[in-house]
Amino acid sequence: MTLIPLLKDMEKHMSFKYKNIVADAGYESEENYVFIEHNNQAGYIKPQNYELSKTRNYKKDISRRENMDYDPQTDSYTCKNRKKLSAVATRTERTATGYLRKVTIYECKNCRNCPYKKSCIKGNNCKTPFKDRKKRLYVSRKMEEKKAECLERILSDFGTQLRLNRSIQAEGSFANVKEDMNFRRYLYRGKENVLAQSTLLAIGFDINKLHHKIMTGRTGTHLFELKKAS
Ligand code: SF4
């Protein structure tokens, strides 16, 4: 919920618009993807399940739609038991900011006597007896589409370079300010005073950074290069 107001605010105060928006996994949402695209920018946001999706447990989890085959022609998934999960309904969800998200519900017609049922259907709060339960998936097709496009971007060389620079430049700045500049707490109270102290801190940080760039001959460059494997 904070990314879109930040981007709007930046546009209001800056004379140019950044082409690429790099953010960590906490900022992944359909609303953010769609806003960035409509704003003629390219999103480089790591999917929330990116690290988890590389684990063996995740890949073995047959209950996840990511581990089922999806056929766009028939708009259906095929499960571990080779049964089809077809679209049976759609519903529209409204986010806290008013964004409308269309969710498709996929259902397997026959899960009875399936040998994989216990691993596939989870959740103990359902009132339907387990033997009668059918596997359902709730999927936003738009989110799937935007996530796939974004994943392709972040896995490209340029995307990898942007992500590397995000961790160095954004996360590293906090470490520099707290450890190297020993900034641990604000000296004054009130929004205006905190803003004034933050601005002075940012100016000091930028002067240090510029000095370091001059000393290392990196002026005019904005991104650290990816290290090439030798
Ligand atoms: S429980 Fe249903 S969806 Fe899951 S593997 Fe068995 S038949 Fe397929």
Number of domains the chain contains: 2
From first to last of its 230 residues, the chain has per-residue pLDDT tens of: 799 999 999 999 999 999 999 999 999 999 999 999 999 999 999 999 999 999 999 999 999 999 999 999 999 999 999 999 999 999 999 999 899 999 999 999 999 999 999 999 987 778 888 889 999 999 999 999 999 999 999 999 999 999 999 988 888 888 889 998 899 999 999 999 999 999 999 999 999 999 999 999 989 888 888 877 65
Q: Which atom of ligand 1 is nearest to the CA of 115?
A: 6
Cβ of 135 closer than 6 Å to ligand 1, yes or no, is yes
One domain for residues 69 and 136: yes
Tokens of 222: 């904005």
Q: What is the reported pTM? A: 0.85
Which of 64, 77, 78, 80 should be mutated for ligand 1, with most atoms under 8 A from CB?
Answer: 80
Residue 148: inside a domain, yes or no? Answer: no
Interatomic CA distance for residues 80 and 64, integer angstroms: 10
147 close to 44: Cβ distance less than 8 angstroms: no
One domain for residues 138 and 170: no
Q: Which element (helix H / strand E) includes 200?
A: helix 191-215
C-beta neighbour count of 100 within 10 angstroms: 9
One domain for residues 128 and 191: no
Residue 215: inside a domain, yes or no? Answer: yes
Residue 107: inside a domain, yes or no? Answer: yes
Distance 75 CA to ligand 1 centre (A): 17
Cβ of 137 closer than 6 Å to ligand 1, yes or no, is no
Determine which residue's CA is closest to atom 4 belonging to ligand 1.
120
